[in-house]
Amino acid sequence: MTNLASLAALIGRVLIAYVFVSAGLAKLGDIPGAMAYTASGGLPGVFAIPALALEILGGLAI
């Protein structure tokens, strides 16, 4: 990989990680709202809690 391709890959990973972490932190800031939104989609509201954990931890892992 050239230096430019490596830099582009790094920037892409950082941007994708930012999307996941910011979405997880938004859910963390309003857990009851996230649970209600999840329940409105037909899933149990408690599924919002592992979803926010996966978004934050997965984003940090990228």
Domain segments of the chain: what residues?
Answer: 3-61
Closest among 21, 10, 4 to 58, alpha carbons compared: 21
- Is the pLDDT confidence value at 1 over 80? no
**Predicted pLDDT of residue 45:** 94
Higher-pLDDT residue of 1, 43: 43
Provide DSSP, 22-45: HHHHHHHHTHHHHHHHHHHTTS-G
pTM: 0.81
**Predicted pLDDT of residue 9:** 95
Closest among 61, 42, 39, 8 to 24, alpha carbons compared: 61
**Predicted pLDDT of residue 51:** 93
pLDDT tens-digit readout, 2-58: 899 999 999 999 999 999 999 999 999 999 999 999 999 999 999 999 999 999 999
